């Protein structure tokens, strides 16, 4: 089998409400790039990548000289062609490689009648558990959804998500307001769900000292782990010596050199593996195997997926023996999806591994066209800007936090879901 063509389509997917984080916000939508490869056997493979627009589409098209004629089954050759660890020093194609590898694994699975996880050794679970992903949200003026700032409002969001989807782990995205506000909100979550695991992730917003102070203030709760309160391998290593909670990262260990240093320094306990940031399913799984060797836990990271990327997360989660914590997903915040059959369903806090060959999801071409049009209508948004504070930049550490008393209405006139 040989690749004969590839194409990329940027789409915009509305969220139920804008999601706030320590560096800015998702402005009521995600922008993603859907990648398709075609083969001489008439089979098509699907991939997905974060971001989009002309530069992303051009970057995918620019890989044609590397990929036309390539056999999708040759995964290791693909890695060296696109993501050569020496050559990629200058071209940083890790995420492009991931999107292409997903599509190759999808089409190779379809040819052989096996699932993507079978290329990783097969599934050891058919249901992947997920944590709720709770955000401070701006209130969407069209839907009235969102607008959570206070402990009561965040607990209400968590209860709503648990009732709708069955989550038994709860993750708070902190770092928007001052650390003591997060402590108050997180302790309210712990009190509301005393039997469930909880986890706090302020996206590296705090200094090491502030992280230690917050860690001590939440140490008595039923913490899954304390995720990236501060930045850097050395910062996280210092934190770990002073706080009696397992620590976790998805930011400072995203390649094998960092993983080796992390293990040698005994810097962090749990590594959240992202199928895109690590450069594909095989790389993320390989990292999981290294962690297993050192009896360290893996988890599955979410970088804002639609159904194709979610499928890669399910196949990774199915094949990782040391998935000792419920996976992360932004997925329940999406209003819709581009895959046939609509959004995948949560049952008892988990999502079933797809049964079909390859990634096990198919593209709904009407939805692809609809959300490609929405991207053309609304354009991109700056992930690292806050629409409620247009002159604000994250200056870290010890930043100028948002004011909870300022309200949580999304400013009018900011393109978010529809232009109407
Ligand atoms: Mg994180």
Could you tell me if 21 and 66 lie in one domain?
A: yes
Distance from Cα 243 to the centre of ligand 1, integer Å: 18
Distance from Cα 261 to the centre of ligand 1, integer Å: 19
Could you tell me if 300 and 354 lie in one domain?
A: yes
383 part of a folded domain? no
19 part of a folded domain? yes
- Alpha-carbon distance 205 to 388, whole Å? 18
413 part of a folded domain? no
Could you tell me if 174 and 51 lie in one domain?
A: no
- Alpha-carbon distance 29 to 373, whole Å? 14
- pLDDT tens series, the chain, 420 aa: 999 999 999 999 999 999 999 999 999 999 999 999 999 999 999 999 999 999 999 999 999 999 999 999 999 999 999 988 666 566 689 999 999 999 999 999 999 999 999 999 999 999 999 999 999 999 998 889 999 999 999 999 999 999 999 999 999 999 999 999 999 999 999 999 999 999 999 999 999 999 999 999 999 999 999 999 999 999 999 999 999 999 999 999 999 999 999 999 999 999 999 999 999 999 999 999 999 999 999 999 999 999 999 999 999 999 999 999 999 999 999 999 999 999 999 999 999 999 999 999 999 999 999 999 999 999 999 999 999 999 888 876 556 899 998 888 888 777 666 543
Distance from Cα 100 to the centre of ligand 1, integer Å: 24
What is the CB-side half-sphere exposure of residue 98 using CA atoms within 13 A?
26
Distance from Cα 235 to the centre of ligand 1, integer Å: 15
Could you tell me if 330 and 259 lie in one domain?
A: yes
CA angle 396, 397, 398 (to 5 degrees): 110
CATH of the domain at 24: 3.30.390.10
Question: Where are the strands (E) in 57-211, listed by range?
Answer: 127-129, 132-135, 169-173, 197-201
- Alpha-carbon distance 404 to 390, whole Å? 17
Distance from Cα 114 to the centre of ligand 1, integer Å: 32
388 part of a folded domain? no
Distance from Cα 81 to the centre of ligand 1, integer Å: 30
Distance from Cα 206 to the centre of ligand 1, integer Å: 13
What is the CB-side half-sphere exposure of residue 117 using CA atoms within 13 A?
23
Could you tell me if 189 and 310 lie in one domain?
A: yes
143 part of a folded domain? yes
384 part of a folded domain? no
Token pair belonging to 197: 């695991």
- Among 51, 42, 38, 65, which Cα is nearest to 9's? 51
Distant-in-sequence, close-in-space partners of 178: CB < 8 Å, separation ≥ 6: 401
Give me the number of domains the chain comprises: 2
Distance from Cα 359 to the centre of ligand 1, integer Å: 25
CATH of the domain at 124: 3.20.20.120
Distance from Cα 204 to the centre of ligand 1, integer Å: 8
Could you tell me if 49 and 138 lie in one domain?
A: no
Torsion angle of alpha carbons 269, 322, 187, 351, nearest 10°? 150
Could you tell me if 61 and 196 lie in one domain?
A: no
Could you tell me if 256 and 159 lie in one domain?
A: yes
399 part of a folded domain? no
Could you tell me if 86 and 212 lie in one domain?
A: no
Could you tell me if 152 and 281 lie in one domain?
A: yes
SS3 304: coil
Residue 335 near residue 74, CB atoms below 8 Å: no
Q: For tokens 């400072």, what's the residue?
A: 252
Distance from Cα 301 to the centre of ligand 1, integer Å: 7
319 part of a folded domain? yes
User: What pLDDT is stored for residue 419 in this prediction?
Assistant: 44
Which residues constitute the domain of residue 251? 119-359
Could you tell me if 305 and 217 lie in one domain?
A: yes
Could you tell me if 90 and 178 lie in one domain?
A: no
């Amino acid at each position: 089998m040989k690749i004969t063509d590839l194409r990329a389509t940027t789409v915009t997917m509305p969220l139920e409400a804008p999601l706030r984080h320590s560096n800015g916000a998702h402005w009521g939508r995600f922008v993603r790039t859907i990648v398709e490869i075609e083969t001489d056997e008439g089979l098509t493979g699907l991939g997905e990548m974060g971001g989009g627009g002309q530069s992303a589409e051009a970057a995918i098209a620019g890989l044609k000289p590397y990929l036309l004629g390539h056999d999708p089954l040759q995964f290791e050759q693909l890695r060296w062609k696109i993501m050569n660890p020496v050559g990629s020093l200058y071209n940083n194609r890790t995420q492009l490689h991931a999107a292409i590898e997903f599509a190759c694994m999808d089409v190779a699975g379809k040819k052989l009648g096996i699932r993507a996880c079978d290329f990783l050794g097969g599934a050891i679970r058919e249901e992947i558990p997920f944590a709720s992903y709770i955000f401070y949200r701006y209130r969407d003026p069209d839907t009235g959804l969102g607008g959570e700032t206070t402990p009561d409002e965040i607990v209400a969001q968590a209860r709503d998500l648990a009732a709708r989807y069955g989550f038994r782990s709860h993750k708070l995205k902190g770092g928007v307001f001052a650390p003591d506000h997060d402590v108050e909100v997180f302790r309210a979550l712990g009190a509301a769900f005393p039997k469930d695991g909880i986890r706090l992730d302020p996206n590296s917003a705090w200094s090491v000292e502030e992280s230690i102070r917050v860690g001590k203030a939440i140490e008595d709760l039923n913490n899954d782990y304390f995720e990236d309160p501060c930045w850097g391998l050395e910062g996280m290593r210092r934190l770990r010596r002073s706080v009696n909670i397992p620590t976790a990262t998805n930011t400072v260990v995203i390649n094998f050199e960092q993983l080796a240093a992390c293990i040698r320094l005994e810097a962090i306990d749990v590594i959240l593996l992202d199928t895109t940031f690590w450069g594909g399913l095989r790389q993320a799984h390989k990292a999981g195997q290294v962690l297993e060797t050192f009896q360290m836990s893996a988890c599955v990271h979410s970088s804002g997926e639609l159904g194709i990327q979610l499928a890669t997360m399910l196949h990774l989660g199915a094949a990782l023996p040391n998935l000792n914590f419920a996976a992360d997903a932004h997925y329940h915040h999406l209003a819709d999806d581009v895959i046939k059959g609509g959004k995948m369903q949560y049952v008892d806090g988990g999502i079933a591994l797809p049964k079909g060959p390859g990634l096990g999801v198919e593209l709904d071409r009407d939805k692809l066209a609809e959300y490609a049009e929405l991207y053309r209508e609304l354009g991109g948004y700056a992930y690292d800007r806050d629409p409620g504070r247009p002159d604000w930049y994250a200056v870290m550490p010890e930043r100028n936090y948002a004011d909870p008393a300022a309200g949580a209405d999304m400013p009018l006139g900011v393109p978010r879901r529809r232009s109407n």
